[in-house]
Amino acid sequence: MTPAILTLFLSLSPAAVGPEAVPWNAQNAEHLLNRAGFGARSAEIDAAVAAGLDATIERLLTPSIDWEMPSYERIVEPAKKDLEGLSKEEQDKQRRVAREADRRQMLEATAWWFREMETTDAPLQEKMVLFWHGLFTTSIEEAKRSFLVLQQHEFLRRNALGNYADLLRGIARDPGMLVYLDNNVNRKGAPNENFARELMELFSLGEGNYTEEDVKEAARALTGRGSSRDGNYEFRSRQHDAGEKTVLGVTGKLDGDQLVDILLKQDACPRWIARRLITWFEGVEPQSARLAEYARVLRAERYEIRPFLEKLFSDPRFYRDEVVGARVLGPVEYMVGTARRTQIEVPAGLLGAGAALLGQRVFSPPSVKGWDEGYAWITTSTLMQRGNLAGLMLGVVKVADVMSMADVEAEMAAEAQSAMQDEGGMQSDSTDEPGMRPMTGEAGPGTKTAAKPAVKPKTGKAGGYAMEILRRIEGSGWYPIVNFRVRLERADARTDAQIVDRMLDDLLAIPAPADTRERMRAFLAGERKERKIAEGQLLETGGEAERILRRMAHLILSLPEAQLG
Amino acid sequence: MSTPNHIDRRALLTAGLGLGGFVLLGGRGEARVRSSGPLFGDDAARAGKVLVLVQLTGGNDGLSMVVPYGDDGYGRARTSTRIAADSVLKIDEYRGLNPELKGLKRHYDAGHMAIVEGCGYPDPIRSHFKSYEVWHTASARGRSAGEGWISKLAGVAWAKDETPELVVHVGGTAPYSVYSLSHPPVIFQTPQSYRWISPESDDLAAYRKAAEEDSARLVETRKQKSKAKKTGSEAAIDRLRGVLADANDSSSRIRRAAVAYQPNTKYPADELGESLKVVASLLDARVGSRVVSVELGGFDSHNNQRAQHDGRMRSLDAALTAFLDDLEARSVRDDVLVVVFSEFGRRVQENGSRGTDHGTAGPMLVLGSKVKGGLYGEHPSLTELDEGDLVHTTDFRSVYATAIERWFGADAAKVLGARYSTLPIV
């Protein structure tokens, strides 16, 4: 069936179309692998096409056998009584050591997760961990202790492709969550409704599907649930309000588990989760009839995630024009996907730090709602910054340039200098004037130029945590190992057109627009001519070719089309 | 690198031609009409006017910002978060400012700060995110009502203005109010990180050439809205190319403004301080911004609130005071109107953890040299509550309407979809 006829067919009778209606070709295979994983490579796409849709879905739905996280410790700052008798310096030191160990544990676990996303043989599982982390989110900024956050991560990881009802029950007992949303201090007679509200608004029903009275009553049902000092779930029966409550029309001496069961029985619940899942995977919100259809599936399957995803991935509507290649990659997806597509062994710390600079610092969401997806990721600034991070991965861009004003300062100082020369009275000793020195970063008191830099280049602490990691990686002497030239030779791509096609194919998730192809060809031809290299001979020039190809990869990954998948 | 376009624009702007309508060449590859915009009122006087939006994210406890210390109900409802009568910065016998707001009190006393009390809307929503949708779209329907109110304002007041920096957000994720397909905002966190880097001039040239070509083409596309729309991947690429074109056009200008700027005051080294310093540099350079948005987060505290909220007030006061004082001796001073708002206030009664839960109405602040300072609206009753929450006395859209109509001279009903009374603040 040609695509045109297929489209017509679909538009006439969408409900009648079964899974077999998905045309299984390279484009759709790439689409599925990108959405269900990170940055599909050409070989993987070929393998998926050969295996067929059903086998590909089945493989995606098979969890990894070694999903286990590296072990992590219950690091707790020493309690007052443990520090008794010690000098103030010694007390401070012990606290500092504990904090530093906690920070390091967080960094190591983050790096581990990024490496896992990049190299796993069960990418859908990792994609779902990322999804749940955005839905049932908890921030290290508020939870404070790495153990709480990592314990939650382990829970989400174990249930990533499991059952939503189990996840909701578990998250309502998760010590990290209970601390994050203040349920730790939700007590009988002194309720705190923060967790109760978000449990309904964000984790299960969606706003508008409960009343303010329901929030207050649900908070009472949740009283007594908290985290022990060790970071274990704790139910403090004396703080629990055992009285009668009414939530969503159900009256009884409700506790937290009964509350969750009430939420799971609401029609709004499968609808809310189905909406979140479909929007995450498709990039656009589902129409109401389709949403209802998927909510029914979730309900019928008792909230099992696998059958839901199986239906979604074999649904021809998942492969429709509006969806394919039109979803903005999140920062984590962009960083991991870029590492995978370029096949560069990037230090995992760079991936995490890069995603953080682009607005997605994992384990530190901006709010309890997680991250805003889609176009919200792309600002005038982050779009450029994405290219800079690709440049770092490719060894084209230096870390010191990522947060720097040196270029503008030099440019303005040079302009000021030429302006003063134009004013006549050319002074031979003009370069001795303090304001005339380019790139000084600061000007002396006698300066008359308008270009006196007021913003000092922040090479010190600018960019905080993420920049610090990047500087450390660069300082360690890391340089990417990548060999585009050999890969192109193997593919027998030698002319400008062949090289550009191959590079675009490898580096982008979507077919490049014609004008992009032309621009890249022009770029390559220009670089060849500068060096007097004949068409078809570029790859013969060895290191020279490799440098040009890296620069072209940098350009490609900076383009709008590289942000979609 | 500065392109001739930037020089032209800057030269024109600094030559004082920024008033009234005139034509700038270049930028998006065609004549760029810089319209003064206002549909009614005194065009020349209102050209160049700017609105600075300061969003306090997380639900600012209004009762701890403008404290009704003289109300018995306040003393009864608040214990751990209560601010004692002898420490508030007294405005009158009923209310006073949080003791951390010393700088703002000075501006209030000088007559340049208006407090609009009890701002909210009917059927208040206590979800941070849904309530912000209402504030950002000025509609009870939230996002389903369409684009944000700033986007609509731009469409009404500056429809033909193609300046990328017309609407700017300094920070990470921008509020929905500025999202716009017709006037997409420039968004950046710091000028330091706002550029595309390559050590190779050929690469920079290729990057810029692509952006400029796309820019010219996209201007055409934006004009021909009625034509067959692209969908899916093609539409997405076009949209992102528009962002890239604006980024390419504005990043150098913004970075240069930041480098050239010499503040007259010391800004705090925190996020809001840094953001407002950059805002001051853009306004002083007259890059053509009409709405600028910044954010102060950290208001979503539910326990041990007093110290946290005091800290937020301290940050707000330090940054905003530095900003206002910095502008004091600059010509742009009289063109700046600052509006401070939050998605909701907090419940009157404290919760059981020395904090407060989500509530409803709260005060808005309006500041600027042209502001007629003082109290506006009415303080909501602390005893006649709705489900334990304050009942709003002024619709927040009245403050929007005031900015739109009395500040910008545009038709507020067109922007807000309904007519709201305005306040004689400006």
Average pLDDT, chain A: 89
Q: Is A549 on the interface with B (CB under 8 A)?
A: no
Residue A485, C-beta contacts closer than 8 angstroms, at least 6 positions apart = A539, A542, A545, A546, A549
pLDDT tens-digit map of B263-281: 999 999 999 999 999 999 9
Residue A60 tokens read as 């995606």
Element containing residue A360 per DSSP (H, E): none
Residue A219, C-beta contacts closer than 8 angstroms, at least 6 positions apart = A186, A191, A192, A193, A195, A196, A197
Which B residues in the span 371-400 are in contact with A, Cβ-Cβ below 8 Å? Answer: 387
Residue A313 tokens read as 């991935």
Whether A221 contacts A188, CB under 8 Å = no
The DSSP letter of residue B402 is I
Residue A360 phi, psi (nearest 5): -130, 85
Chain B CA closest to residue A410: B1
pLDDT tens-digit map of A492-541: 999 999 999 999 999 999 999 999 999 999 999 999 999 999 999 999 99
Q: Could you write out the DSSP letters of every residue in A39-89?
A: ---HHHHHHHHHH-HHHHHHHHHSPPS--PPPP-----PPPGGGGTTS-HH
Q: Is A560 on the interface with B (CB under 8 A)?
A: yes
Q: Can you give the pLDDT at residue B217?
A: 81
Q: Can you give the pLDDT at residue A438?
A: 36
- Enter the ipTM: 0.88
For the ranges A77-91, A480-494, B57-71, B283-297, the lowest mean pLDDT is seen at A77-91
Chain A CA closest to residue B274: A455
Spell out which residues of chain A touch residue B355, defining contact as CB-CB under 8 Å. Answer: 182, 192
Residue B372 backbone class (left: φ over 0; alpha: ψ -120 to 50; beta: rest): beta
Residue A6: count other Cβ atoms within 10 Å of its Cβ: 16
A245-258 exposure pattern, b = at least 16 Cβ within 10 A, e = fewer: bebbeeeeebbbee
Q: Can you give the pLDDT at residue A464?
A: 81
Res A69 pLDDT > 60: yes
Residues B19, B17: Cα–Cα separation, whole Å:
5
Q: Can you give the pLDDT at residue B31?
A: 33
Whether B241 contacts B181, CB under 8 Å = no
Q: pLDDT-based confidence at B22, cuts 50/70/90?
A: very low
Amino acid letter, residue B294 = V
Average pLDDT, chain B: 88
| Length of chain B (residues) | 426
pLDDT tens-digit map of B1-16: 333 333 333 333 333 3
Q: Is B94 on the interface with A (CB under 8 A)?
A: no
Query: What sign results for the dihedral spanned by CA atoms A460, A465, A469, A472?
Result: positive
pLDDT tens-digit map of B78-88: 999 999 999 99
For the ranges A110-124, A440-454, B235-249, B368-382, the lowest mean pLDDT is seen at A440-454
Q: Is A556 on the interface with B (CB under 8 A)?
A: no
CA distance A175 to chain B (A): 17
On the CB side of B191, CA atoms within 13 Å amount to 30
Whether B183 contacts B156, CB under 8 Å = no
Q: Is B82 on the interface with A (CB under 8 A)?
A: no
Average pLDDT of the segment spanning A535-551: 96
In the beta sheet, which residues pair with residue A190? A187
Nearest by CB to residue A526, choosing from B129, B185, B202, is: B202
Spell out which residues of chain B touch residue A185, defining contact as CB-CB under 8 Å. Answer: 303, 352-353
Which B residues in the span 133-172 are in contact with A, Cβ-Cβ below 8 Å? Answer: 164, 169, 172
Q: Is B27 on the interface with A (CB under 8 A)?
A: no
Residues B400, B381: Cα–Cα separation, whole Å:
24
**Domain B4-416, second-level architecture:** 3-Layer(aba) Sandwich (3.40)
CB contact under 8 A, A187 and B352: yes
Whether A516 contacts A559, CB under 8 Å = yes
pLDDT tens-digit map of A389-447: 999 999 999 999 998 999 899 999 999 888 888 765 544 443 333 333 333 333 333 33
Pick from A197, A116, A181: nearest CA to A148: A181
Q: Is B80 on the interface with A (CB under 8 A)?
A: no
Average pLDDT of the segment spanning B301-308: 93
On the CB side of A64, CA atoms within 13 Å amount to 20
Chain B CA closest to residue A325: B233
Spell out which residues of chain A touch residue B126, defining contact as CB-CB under 8 Å. Answer: 197, 212, 215
Q: Would you kindly state where each structural domain of chain A is located, as residue ranges?
A: 22-61+269-319, 331-403+460-475, 484-563
Res A39 pLDDT > 70: yes
Q: Is A209 on the interface with B (CB under 8 A)?
A: no
Q: pLDDT-based confidence at A556, cuts 50/70/90?
A: very high
Q: pLDDT-based confidence at B224, cuts 50/70/90?
A: low
Which A residues in the span 339-398 are in contact with B, Cβ-Cβ below 8 Å? Answer: 357, 359, 366-369, 372, 375-376, 378-385, 387-388, 391, 396-398
Spell out which residues of chain B touch residue A359, defining contact as CB-CB under 8 Å. Answer: 172-173
Q: Is A324 on the interface with B (CB under 8 A)?
A: yes
CA distance A555 to chain B (A): 7
Spell out which residues of chain A touch residue B173, defining contact as CB-CB under 8 Å. Answer: 359, 366, 372, 376, 379
> What are the CA-CA distances from residue A82 to residues A79, A85, A90, A94, A230 (Å)?
5, 9, 12, 10, 15
Res B57 pLDDT > 90: yes
Q: Is A326 on the interface with B (CB under 8 A)?
A: yes
On the CB side of A481, CA atoms within 13 Å amount to 2
Residues B34, B159: Cα–Cα separation, whole Å:
10
Spell out which residues of chain A touch residue B198, defining contact as CB-CB under 8 Å. Answer: 391, 396-397, 551, 554
Spell out which residues of chain B touch residue A454, defining contact as CB-CB under 8 Å. Answer: 258-263
Residue from A408, A447, A458, A549 to probe the interface with B (highest B Cβ count within 10 Å): A408
Spell out which residues of chain B touch residue A201, defining contact as CB-CB under 8 Å. Answer: 127
Nearest by CB to residue B206, choosing from A555, A560, A563, is: A555
Q: Could you write out the DSSP letters of every residue in A487-544?
A: HHHHTT--SHHHHHHHHHHHH-SSPPPHHHHHHHHHHHHHHHHHTTPPTT-GGGGTHH
Q: Can you give the pLDDT at residue A128?
A: 98
Alpha-carbon radius of gyration of chain A? 28
Q: Can you give the pLDDT at residue A105?
A: 96
Q: Can you give the pLDDT at residue A67?
A: 66
pTM comes to 0.87
Average pLDDT of the segment spanning A248-272: 98
CA distance A182 to chain B (A): 7
Q: Is A299 on the interface with B (CB under 8 A)?
A: no
3-state secondary structure of B131: helix
Pick from A126, A127, A129, A134: nearest CA to A155: A129
Residues B169, A494: Cα–Cα separation, whole Å:
46
Q: Cα-Cα-Cα-Cα dihedral of B166, B170, B175, B179, to 10°?
A: 30
Which A residues in the span 93-132 are in contact with B, Cβ-Cβ below 8 Å? Answer: none
Q: Can you give the pLDDT at residue A443?
A: 36
Residue B26 backbone class (left: φ over 0; alpha: ψ -120 to 50; beta: rest): left
Q: pLDDT-based confidence at B204, cuts 50/70/90?
A: very high
Q: Can you give the pLDDT at residue A549?
A: 98
Spell out which residues of chain A touch residue B241, defining contact as CB-CB under 8 Å. Answer: 560
Residue A263 tokens read as 């939420």
